[in-house]
């Protein structure tokens, strides 16, 4: 193990870094459910919260982490946190929970969570670990929300469809209708097409800078 106060060897992906886009390719199951802005935001926030708790817990456990058992500990911490998040969503955001379905417990299999635990939380004190989780979680949430919003816009011609699932009854009339959509973008292949287009656009912007 590295020294307790070692500087993280890899910075977390920020709001629109290349790392965030590349990580999306490793999250195929999550991309399948980002068919709307609300779905992407809900799933992103849930994942960011799990990341925050797991990073903080792993950092706090550093003094007692056993080298050969560290991955097992990461998995247990992440799975336990996901179970709590799943129960909370089922009780407080039931309709969104039904919409996301199996993809909520699948957060536990997200390689991003174990990667940040291993690269940052297991090597850093609490403050840097929490900061990394906040930065990475924000980038991940923004990425999923953007993909969901674009797929909803081009797939169904709406924005903020089913906003009440996340924001309550006051958001029932928030849906914006912008015209007809293109069915392919609402289907799972549309997620990969949209991610490719978003990453290409971001690389073009970065190249200009």
> What is residue 127's predicted lDDT score, i.e. its pLDDT?
96
User: Given the structure tokens 């958001």, which residue do they identify?
Assistant: 171
**In Å, how far are 16, 117, 120, 195, 200 from 136, measured between CA atoms?**
10, 12, 11, 18, 21
d(CA 42, CA 40): 6
CB count in 10 Å sphere of residue 63: 6
Q: Which two tokens stand for residue 90?
A: 């089922």
3-class SS of residue 176: strand
Angle 14-34-108 from CA coordinates, rounded to 5°: 70
Nearest residue to 30 via CA among 144, 161, 123, 132: 144
Per-residue pLDDT of the chain (209 residues; tens, 9 = 90+): 434 444 444 444 444 444 544 455 445 556 778 899 999 999 999 999 999 999 999 999 998 888 889 999 999 999 999 999 999 999 999 999 999 988 899 898 888 899 899 999 999 999 999 999 999 889 888 888 988 999 999 999 999 999 999 999 999 999 999 988 888 888 888 888 888 888 788 789 889 88
């Amino acid at each position: 193990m590295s020294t307790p106060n070692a500087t993280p060897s890899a910075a977390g992906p920020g709001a629109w870094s290349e790392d965030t886009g590349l990580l999306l390719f490793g999250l195929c199951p999550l991309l399948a459910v980002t068919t709307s802005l609300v779905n992407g935001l809900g799933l992103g926030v849930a994942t960011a919260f799990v990341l925050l708790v797991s990073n903080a817990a792993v950092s706090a456990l550093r003094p007692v982490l056993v080298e050969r058992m560290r991955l097992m500990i990461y998995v247990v911490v992440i799975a336990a946190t996901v179970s709590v998040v799943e129960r909370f969503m089922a009780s407080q955001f039931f309709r969104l929970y039904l919409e996301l379905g199996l993809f909520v417990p699948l957060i536990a299999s997200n390689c991003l969570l174990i990667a940040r635990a291993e690269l940052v939380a297991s090597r850093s004190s609490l403050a840097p670990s929490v900061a990394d989780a906040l930065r990475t979680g924000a980038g991940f949430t923004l990425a999923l929300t953007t993909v969901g919003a674009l797929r909803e816009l081009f797939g169904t011609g709406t924005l903020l469809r089913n906003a009440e699932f996340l924001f309550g009854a006051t958001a029932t009339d928030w849906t914006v209708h912008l015209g007809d959509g293109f069915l392919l973008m609402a289907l799972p292949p549309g997620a990969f097409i949209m991610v490719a287009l978003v990453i290409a656009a971001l690389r073009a912007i970065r190249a200009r800078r």
